[in-house]
Chains A and B, each alone.
Chain A
Amino acid sequence: MLIRRAPTALAAVAALVLTGAAAEVGTAPLRVVSINLCTDQLAMTLAAPGQLVSVSSLAQDPRTSLMADRAAAFPANHGRAEEIYLLRPDLVLASSFTTPATLSMLRRLGVPVATFEPETSLDGVTRSILQMGQALGREAEAHDMAARFRGDLAALRAQGGAGPLAATWAANGYMTGTETLSADVLRAAGFDLVAERLGMRFGASIPLESLLMTDPDAVVTGPPDGAPARADDVVRHPALARSRAARIEVDDREWICGLPQVLAAARDLKNAREGLERGSGRLPPDAAAKGPIP
C-alpha cells in the first residue's frame, strides 16, 4: 500500500495524511473493514457499493445500532487483530479509543488504520462525516451529507432564552458532562444542563441526592435494560419518581454515535421540551428565566 508504516502517535492526523495521499493518486481503498460501532454506521452510509467488507458485531445488534438491518448484510468482526488481518483490508476504520494493542498490531502487520475521535459535539459530527469521506475517497458524497446535516441542524436549533433544566441519568447514577454529544444535543433541543451547574465537563457517577438538589425539570434516561442489574435501581429510584422532574426516554443507540441520525433524537427532545413549557405555562421561545414552580 501507500504508506506502510503509519506513525503510532497522532493517529487521527496520520489517518488524514494517509487518506489524503490516497485521494491524490486517485486510489480509494477497495477493502475497508470497520471495527467500531460508530465508524461502522458512518461507513455504511458513505461507502461505495462493495467497498466495505466487514463491520463490527455491535453494528448488527439492534440494542446498540441504528443500522442493524443494513449491518446484517456484512460479515461481522469482533475487533480482534487476527480476524481483521485475515480479511486482507487495505483500510481499517477504528475509534481513537479502540484497544491500542489491536491498532499497533495491525500497523505492525502493515495494515493502514484510520482512527476517528468520538464526537463530543454536533460540530464534531460534521467533522467525522468529512473525515470519513476523505478516508473512503467519497469526498463529494460526504460534503453533500455534511451540508444537509448542517442545514437540518440550523433549522432545529433552539433560539435564545433559558430552557428547562435537564440532565441525563443512567445506570450507577452516571451523568454526561457538558463536553459530550448528548449535552450538545440537549442544548440544541433548547434545554439548560444540570451538568453546566455542577461544572461537570465529561461525565461521572454522582449521588442521586446531588441530582435532586439541582431540582431539574427533566431527567433523560434510556429505556429499562432487558437484563436486570442493581446498577439500574438508581434510575428507577422512588425519590426520582416523586420529584417534579419529567422523565424523557432516549434510547442510547440514538445518540451514542455522532451520526446524522442524532438529529432525530434532538427533534424528539425538542418536542418534549416544548411539551414541558406548555405544561408549565411558559411561552417559548424567549420564556422567562427558570424559577421554582409554586
Chain B
Amino acid sequence: MSRPVTGPVTGRALLPALAVLCAVLFAASVLTGPADAGARASLVALFRGDGGPLTLVMREIRLPRAVLGVLAGASLGLAGAAIQGFLRNPLAEPGLIGVSASAGLGAVLAIQTGIAATGALALPLSGFAGALVAVALILGLSARSGDALDAGRGGGFGLILAGIAVSAFAGALTSLVLNLSPNPFAASEIVFWMMGSLADRSWIEVWTALPVMAVGWVLLARTARDLDALTLGEEAAASLGVNLPRLRLLTVLGIAAAVGATTAVAGAIGFVGLVVPHLLRGAVGGVPSRLLPASALGGAALVLAADIAVRLILPERDLKLGVMMALVGTPVFLHLIHRIRHGA
C-alpha cells in the first residue's frame, strides 16, 4: 500500500489502457490456432462467413474460446482483488486458498452424478456451491482468529495453511471421484481440474457460465466502497457506517459465484487473482474500489495472453493454462512472502 506509484500508466488512463490491451490480446487470441490460415482470411471468414470450414473454426471454436478467456480472467482478477481487499492480505487468492479446488470438486460431482445434465445452469451452480463451502470456511477462520491471519503482522501464513488444507482435501476428493468413474477417460481429467484449460470449449460453456459469473461481478462491485473504508481497519470502517456482516456476505457470495462458474467450465486456473492485483495495486494507489475494475481487465488480459502462449508453445497439444500461470505466478508469490517476512 505504501509503494510509490511507479507505472507509466496511472490514474484515469489506466482503465482505458487495460481495455485496449484486452482488445489487442482478444484479437490475437482469435487469430491464434493450429489451423494455419492468414489473419486476413481468418477475419474475412469470421465476419463475412463463406460457409467453409474456416468460418466454422473462427465462429464456433476460436471466438468462444477468446470470450471465455475474457470472462474467466475477469472473474478471477476481480475475485482476487476483492478477497485481498476484504482480508487485507496480498497472499489471499482463490486458487491458493482452495476456492478453485472446491469449485472443481463441486463441478466434478455434478458431472459424475449426472446433475450437470439436468439443466443449463446446473454445472456452474454446482461449481458455485463447491466454492461457497471453501470461501465461507476460509473467511470464517479469518473472522475467528482475527489478526492471526493478518498479513501485515507476519501471520499471513495461517491463511495460506488453511488454504493448502482445503485445496489438498478438495483435490484429493476430486481425484477419488474421477478414479471411481467407470468411464476410462475420467481419471485423466484430474489434470484439467487442477490446471485449467480453454481448449475446444464452445458457446455452450460461455452461455452457461455467464449468468452465474455476472451475478458474482455485480455482488463484488457492490463491495467496492466498503472495501475502501476497510483499509482503515475493521473498527474504523464500522464507525464509518460499514455493515461488516453484509460486506462479508457480499464478498463470500460474489467470489463463490465468479470463481465457481469459471472453474466449472475452465478448470482451476491458479495465480490470476494473486498476480494481477499485485501488479496493479501501485497504479491505483492501493485503493480497493479502483483496484477491482483494473484487476478484472488485467485478469482478462493475463488469461488471454497465457491462452495464446499455450497455443504457440505446443500448438498440437492441450498444454494446460495452469502451467503458464504457475511460471508467472510463482516468482510473484515468493516475492510477496519475502516482503512479508522482512516486514516491508
Contact = CB atoms under 8 A, between A and B. Distances in A.
Interface in A11-55: none
A258 B33 CA distance: 37
Contacts of A212: 35, 53, 56-57, 61
A227 B111 CA distance: 9
Contacts of A233: 200
B243 interface: no
A229 B200 contact: no
A229 B53 contact: no
Nearest to B110: A228
B188 interface: yes
B53 A237 contact: no
A239 interface: yes
Interface stretch (B18-26, B81-89, B155-163, B177-185): B177-185
A57 to B, nearest CB: 14
B318 interface: yes
Interface in A207-240: 207-210, 212-215, 225-234, 237-239
A209 B57 contact: yes
Contact of A206 (B33, B52, B117, B316): B316
B63 to A, nearest CB: 10
B189 A208 contact: no
A211 B34 CA distance: 10
Contacts of A208: 61, 200
Interface residues of B, number: 34
A31 to B, nearest CB: 31
Contacts of A210: 34-35, 316
Contacts, number: 92
A173 B53 contact: no
B192 A230 contact: yes
B182 A239 contact: no
Contacts of B117: 228
Contacts of A226: 182-183
Contacts of A173: 200
B66 to A, nearest CB: 13
Nearest to A214: B53
Nearest to A63: B182
A231 B185 contact: yes
Contact of B53 (A215, A230, A238): A215
Contact of B35 (A209, A230, A243): A209
Nearest to B116: A228
A20 to B, nearest CB: 37
Interface string B182-215: 1101101100100000011011100000000000
Interface string B32-57: 01110100000000000000111011
Contacts of A207: 33-34, 199-200, 315-316, 318
Given A207-B316, A213-B57, A228 B112 contact: yes
Nearest to B317: A205
B60 interface: yes
B60 A239 contact: yes
12 contacts: A173-B200, A206-B34, A210-B316, A213-B37, A227-B112, A228-B117, A229-B185, A230-B192, A232-B183, A232-B185, A237-B202, A238-B203
Given A209-B35, A215-B52, 4 more contacts: A172-B188, A207-B199, A215-B53, A232-B183
